[in-house]
Amino acid sequence: MSSVGENEVFYFSNFQLYRERSLLLQDGQPVKVGSRALLILITLVERAGLIVSNRELIDLVWPDTYVEESNIRVHLTTLRRLLGERPGTARFIVNIPGRGYQFIAPVRRDDPHEERAQPVAVDSTVPTVGRLIGRDDILDKLTAMLPQRRLITILGAGGIGKTALVQALTARWLEETAAEVSFVDLAPVSDDSRVASALAAVLQVPVISSDPMPNILQALRRTRRVLVFDSCEHVIDAVAEISETIIAEVDNINIVTTSREPLRASGEWIQRLQPLAFPPEQSPLSVDDVLSYPAVQLFVERALAISDTFAPNDHEALVLGDLCRRLDGLPLAIELAAARVDMFGLEELARRLDSQLSLLSRGLRTAVPRHRTIRATIDWSYQLLSLQQKNLLNRLSVFTGYFSFESASALAAAPGGPSGAFVEEIVQLVEQSLVVAETINHGTSYRLLGTTRAFAGEKLEESGEVDMVREWHAGHVLDLLKDANDASTTLTLEDWSSAYSSMIDDIRTAMDWAFGPRGMIDIAVRLAAASAPIWFRHSLVDEYRQRLEQTVSRLDELETLDRKSEMLINTALGHAIWHSRGPEGADERFLRAIDLADELSNAFAGRTARWGLWLVYTMKGDTARALDVAERFGGREPSEDARWQLTQERMMALTLHFAGRHGEARQYVDHVLSHPNVLNLSARNSGFLFDQRIAAKTLNSRLLWIQGFPDRALALAHEGAEEALALGHGLSFCYNLSQSICPISIWAGELETARRYTDILLDYSTSRVLPYWHTWGRTYDQALGRTSARMGLRPEHELSGITLQTLYHQETAATLDPGLADDVIVEGATGGRSWCSPELLRVKAVRMLQADRSQTDPAAVDVILLTALAEAREHTALSWELRAATTLAESRRARGDMSGMVVLSETFKRFSEGFETADLCRASSLLDGR
């Protein structure tokens, strides 16, 4: 530690840091900082300009305790926010990757006993304002608007932070102007007749008649003033009337109100307050990314206020992001949840979140009663509703996700629903901030915040009509799924996703009810059969597989089984099995689906099942069966649908590629990519088909590399990865990464690129629970670790115990590193029709050379390598040929025989590009005698 004096004070920007007193001031006012975060700040400020390592900080802050480095990141994220840094800026603290942290702002040290002018406190009726999180932009906007707008209403749901925002706004107004601020808390006011009296009391105007307004107006004319009316919704009419009167009669007054519904007063300008931003669902984010969201920052700050040891690790940070998302970014809910983290811990808190209303109940004692629990906050608004509005809100609680106006209207029209002017009722619920209306893709969608939904759901249970409404909801979801399936043949993927992807939460809710003790199993089966495109569109394959297996296990409960539903369930289950576990066991589902499709003369379903069966045979290395299915895929007559024609051609291309017939495969791929319709075709229809263009580019990049065009292969692999990510279809993205950019980058020696995309594949497959694709990522990760070790670097990951589920997977591993090759496959390699059989032969020779040389027959090694060379030439696999020629030249040179150099030179001369890639560099060095 520095030898600085304990009593010294550090000044930077508008902050003062007292080391001995463990105190941080901003403009003379205390800043609430956890003890560990403050110790980190003191250390960095003392060493301003120097880099302090992560290890030093951990040893100082957590002596004799093992903690992960993520603890440092959590506290630094909080510090940066308390110091006023916004995401993407670094005014005070910067991270030096791999080294530590540095305090970069100018620091001045002074004697703390020196007399200094103290800031003058401003006397006002504005309550003390806490530090706002995530509201900087809207605060700046309102500050600029306040002088221009006479009447501003900050509108939003209960607990969303309206009062905190208006307090910050008026505090800033006091700092920047000579105007006064008067704050009128209307929460205790019981009815409209008492609003004027409450205003008179704040202004200290004597009330000497039944109408205090004349005296109020006279008092307001004396000074420039901002009036704040807080919590107006229960006395809205009186506030609107008084506000209009003041603005009309007094020129030097601005009014700001907070409310859960608009005043609808003349000249009113509305600023609707949205929840705090939270991490998006199923996005592979780093811990630092998660901690950058305001909702998460608020949770961390409130949790640290209770326990300064709170510091989520990498996994817990992702749990925290999910928790804040489930709380809809609602500040009050987040604060109440954070108050429970010391009791339950983060993961247990997340598990208990389903009982939101009882869990979120320990607010600050200083909070107004309606903000001490979520239930009280919502009930405050609920009691202001009419009976019809309450009935409608209760019913709307069955919608878990977004719903349309048409869906809400249909629900209202169900038996026993609200009568009369439905449009007016839904408008009122939106205006009172109990229903959220959002513009999505040029249309309006609606939803309930999770806490509101839980409250209204309880009321629906109490009403006795919950089963009737939930049955209606499940039937409505089935109707929407039929619309989605019909639209899949006409809409683009983007338009289809915009219209239907948000259904996933309602599908879950409907299936949970239908499978439950009060549900209907026939509806559950129909939901499982019809919802495949949505599940696969979201890449929720493992969850869907579990639901399908649950469905199959209960089919015998049906009096009659719908054959079409059985066919669809078997097809979907086959695809779900191989996407989540690999192909083992999927073929029997596809065969059953094909039998049912033929029985029902359903050509569409038959093709999707046959496509799945072909893929299973392909991954298992059963090329003969795969080729047979591919050749017969289109049926006896050519399909009129270009999508199926292109699918068949791509099937033929991939099958021929795996058979080692790379030249023929290229012809099919080139035709698919040049087809005028390929740009308009996508993975939208069944959800489990890969996007045609992405899949074709994936295969083409592999073929280009194998045929000796490394630069073109890498360029196309990058292009395909970018397109796959932009497309937003998870399975197409995993397919591209695992079959193109990751292996090609390793083959070419582009290890940084391979590492980056392997990490993306691992994160993506983890967040979407795709074990099959995750296994591919782990394979590449292990290959990269072995390569790093050979280069004298420390592998970033030590992974083992990977189960390679298919022959194709095992073959791929062998091409990445001989040490990953399966012994049975390598020892059994004799040449033959395989996409990588020349390379398997070479790996076999390499293993023989690495064994005890006294036990190795050089002639036998030569025979194997010459066989590999001949087969590579026959397959037009120039890259495999180069590897075999290089190993042959090295092997013979070690024996003093330079004849292998001639073979290598002839092979090398046939390359026209890729001279910076690993294999060509190795060959070039060998030819140069290095």
In a domain, 306, yes or no: yes
CATH classification at residue 90: 1.10.10.10
Both 868 and 888 in one domain: the answer is yes
**Residue 448 is assigned to a structural domain of this protein:** no
Element (H, E) at 426: helix 422-431
Is the pTM above the cut of 0.75?
A: no
Q: Which of the residue ranges 233-237, 305-309, 736-740 has the most confident prediction, judged by mean pLDDT?
A: 736-740
188 & 239 share domain: yes
Is pLDDT above 80 for 112?
Answer: no
The pLDDT of residue 893: 92
pLDDT at 677: 60
Give the domain-ending residue among 817, 839, 872: 817
Kindly indicate the confidence band of residue 792, based on its pLDDT and cuts at 50, 70 and 90: very low
Q: Are residues 805 and 850 in the same domain?
A: no
Residues 214 and 297 reside in one and the same domain = no
- Mean local confidence (pLDDT), 311-337: 82
Q: What is the CATH number of the domain that holds 880?
A: 1.25.40
Boundary-marking domain end, from 817, 839, 863? 817
| 260, pLDDT greater than 80 | yes
Note whether 790 and 908 are same-domain residues.
no
Q: Is residue 158 part of a domain?
A: yes
More confident residue, 314 or 211: 211
Residues 248 and 171 both lie in one domain: yes
Number of folded domains that form the chain: 5
- pLDDT category of residue 800 using cuts at 50, 70 and 90: very low
CB 676 within 8 A of CB 692: no
**In a domain? residue 35:** yes
116 confidence band (pLDDT: 50, 70, 90): very low
Do 179 and 158 fall into the same domain? yes
Residue 207 vs residues 194, 395, 929: alpha-carbon distances, Å: 12, 46, 104
What confidence score (pLDDT) does residue 656 get?
93
91 inside domain: yes
Q: Is the pLDDT of residue 567 over 90?
A: yes
- Which CATH number covers residue 231? 3.40.50.300
Instruction: Evaluate if residue 357 carries a pLDDT over 80.
Output: no
Give residue 67's pLDDT.
Answer: 63
Average pLDDT in the 554-564 region? Answer: 88
User: What domain range is 227 assigned to?
Assistant: 136-272
> Six-digit token pair at 408?
């809400």
887 and 811 fall within a common domain: no
Residue 666 domain-assigned (yes or no): no
The verdict on 754 and 846 lying in the same domain is no
One DSSP character per residue, 827-859 reads HT----S-TTHHHHHHHHHHHHHHS-GGG--HH
The residue ranking higher by pLDDT, 422 or 260, is 260
Q: Regarding predicted confidence, which is higher, 11 or 119?
A: 11
Segment among 161-165, 282-286, 577-581, 784-788 with least mean pLDDT: 282-286
| Confidence grade of residue 750 (pLDDT, cut at 50, 70, 90) | very high
Single-letter code of the amino acid located at 639: S
Lowest-pLDDT choice from 95-99, 521-525, 538-542, 905-909: 95-99
pLDDT category at 368 given cuts 50, 70, 90 is: very low
Task: Return the pLDDT at 125.
Answer: 47
809 and 828 fall within a common domain: no
* Cβ within 8 Å of residue 507, ≥6 positions away: 477, 481, 527, 531, 534, 535
Which pLDDT belongs to residue 365? 41
Angle in degrees, 0-180, between the axes of helices 692-706 and 642-658, rounded to the nearest 10: 30
- 505: pLDDT confidence band, cut at 50, 70 and 90? confident
> Is residue 192 in some structural domain?
yes
- Of the pLDDT bands very low, low, confident and very high (cuts 50, 70, 90), residue 158 is confident
Whether the pLDDT of residue 64 is over 80: the answer is no
Contacts 24+ apart (CB under 8 A), 575-578: 575/532, 575/536, 575/541, 575/612, 575/686, 575/688, 576/535, 576/541, 576/542, 576/544, 576/545, 576/548, 576/688, 577/545, 578/612, 578/615, 578/616, 578/619, 578/772
Q: At which of 793, 817, 841 does a domain end?
A: 817
- On whether both 704 and 805 belong to a single domain, the answer is yes
Question: Is pLDDT of 121 > 60?
Answer: no
Mean pLDDT of 115-122: 33
Same domain, 739 and 781: yes
Q: For residue range 679-734, what is the model confidence (pLDDT) as tens digits?
A: 444 444 444 567 778 888 999 999 999 999 999 999 999 999 988 888 777 788 88
224 lies in some domain: yes
